[in-house]
Structure 1
Amino acid sequence: LYSDQGRLKEAEAIYQRALEGYEKALGSDHTSTLNIVHNLGNLYKIQGRLKEAETMYQRALSGYSAALGSSHPRCLLVIEKIASLQPAQGSLSL
């Protein structure tokens, strides 16, 4: 909601707090935790923080691949997000 309203700093703080809670409760490799990581990547992309977005997307992709398999639709979506950073950032690695 905050992100949709343009309140990006508030959204980031909430995502960070949620990420800490999910990591503590479920672990850093749980798919629910990875969903928060993915959402943080989206937020960073919106903010133009492309290196941070890439870091979050790579973390999500690694975790999703391990948990769900590399051909899972969630992994493919994250790969698409990483590729979308390329025109603005230059060469990226998958």
Structure 2
Amino acid sequence: MANLASTFWNQERWKEAEDLQVQVMETRKRVLGQEHPDTLTSMNNLALTWKGLGRDKEALKLMEECVLSLTRIIGTNHPNTLSSRAILLEWKIHEPEIDP
């Protein structure tokens, strides 16, 4: 399901990607736990999709949660943490009108 969501995302089929990503994230939360790295990857992906859908405030909030959890769980210097943090910083720099 995550692979199909990724395919939709790559095709900019945001709504279809979102529907699957929500399912993947909720399933991973239930099966793996709220702060499992795979669950956090799902959060990251959903935030990116929400950004693609123009849901900027929701995307920003979810990405902030994701970065906080990634930092706590896998560390500040892990590539996944650094990547998510870079995305979050870019959003904050290029779209200062978003109120966190």
Task: Give TM class, smaller chain.
Answer: 0.7 to 0.9
1:85 correspondence with 2:99: no
Q: 20-29 vs 1-10, which deviates more?
A: 1-10
User: What are the residue-to-residue correspondences of 1:22-61 with 2, within 5 Å?
Assistant: 22-61=28-67
Over the matched positions of the two proteins, sequence identity in percent amounts to: 26
Unaligned runs of 5+ in 1: none
CA distance in 2, matches of 1:12, 1:55: 16
**Residue of structure 1 equivalent to 2:26:** 20
Aligned-pair RMSD on alpha carbons? 1.7
Query: TM-score, structure 2 length as denominator?
Result: 0.82
Deviation of 1:92 after TM superposition, in Å, equals: 7.0
| Structure 2: runs of 5 or more not aligned | 1-6
Number of equivalenced pairs: 93
TM-score computed with the length of structure 1 as normaliser: 0.87
- Partner SS, residue 10 of structure 2: coil
Deviations 1:18-45 (Å, cap 9, x if unpaired)?
Answer: 1110001001100000000000111112
Letter of the structure 2 residue corresponding to residue 81 of structure 1? I
